[in-house]
Amino acid sequence: MPLIYQHNINEHTKLGVWRIKEGEEFFLSRVPLKKDVSHPHKRLQHLAGRYLLTALYNDFPLEEILIADTRKPFLENERYHFSISHCDNFVAAIVSDSERVGVDVELVTPKIERVKHKFVRDSELIFINEEYELFLEQFGMREKVNQEFLTMLWSCKEAIFKWYGLGQMDFKKHMQLTSDIVYSDNGFLEMLFLLTKGQFIQLKLHSLLIDNFVLSWLSTPAVIKL
């Protein structure tokens, strides 16, 4: 089974990453296709994401998923809070029975450097330092430090956007990396972001490198109101 990563964040919240190796028939025999998706690979990603929800919580009510005007999927009764992200053949999902969550997975590629002006403040670039480069060296990515950092920054802000859930957010104006990056023993990167949309809230984000992908997530207990 290609559930390549699972992390039980706490007793209420689970995170998982699925590498898609199966065909549509595998997922269609297990989950309903409620969304009209014409592109074959996007349909496969959609099915894999729904399947991953049930892999994390086997009683997840897929048939009750609704889509908000902001395109955020949700359950009306909030039995579970959840977030899904797709990139290439990877699908990530985070599910909680008690708290808001957000997740994002991104492939590290050079194209991120061409669009950094849209989501990066100059003040955030100071956190690229020698310690960060040494951390990336163990993953064979020291020569890609700028690409990885920018991808991580984008991924964290996407996770915040999904956690926020109300849309209409400027990634450069409303979200800012404000702390040094902490390297935990379990391989996570931990950092603080300031959210300034409507109110000032400090958020703790986590990121993880898997192959050439960046996985980022947060949940409500990581919120510190200022």
Token pair recorded at residue 175: 């979200």
Task: Report the percent of the chain where pLDDT is more than 70.
Answer: 96
* Residue 222 confidence (pLDDT): 61
pTM exceeds 0.75 for this model: yes
List pLDDT tens digits, range 117-140: 999 999 999 999 888 888 888 888
Residue 133 has which token pair?
């480069």
- CATH of the domain spanning 3-99: 3.90.470.20
Domain ranges, ordered by start, for the chain: 3-99, 106-225
Query: Given phi > 0 = left and psi -120 to 50 = alpha, else beta, which region is 78?
Result: left
β-sheet bridge partners, residue 183: 189
Q: In the prediction, which pLDDT does 115 show?
A: 96
Q: What superfamily would CATH give domain 106-225? A: 4'-phosphopantetheinyl transferase domain (3.90.470.20)
For the chain, give the mean pLDDT: 91
Same fold, 3-99 and 106-225: yes
Question: pLDDT tens digits for 13-58?
Answer: 999 999 999 999 999 888 877 667 778 898 999 999 999 999 999 9
pLDDT 10s digits, 130-173: 888 888 888 888 889 999 999 999 999 999 999 999 888 999 99
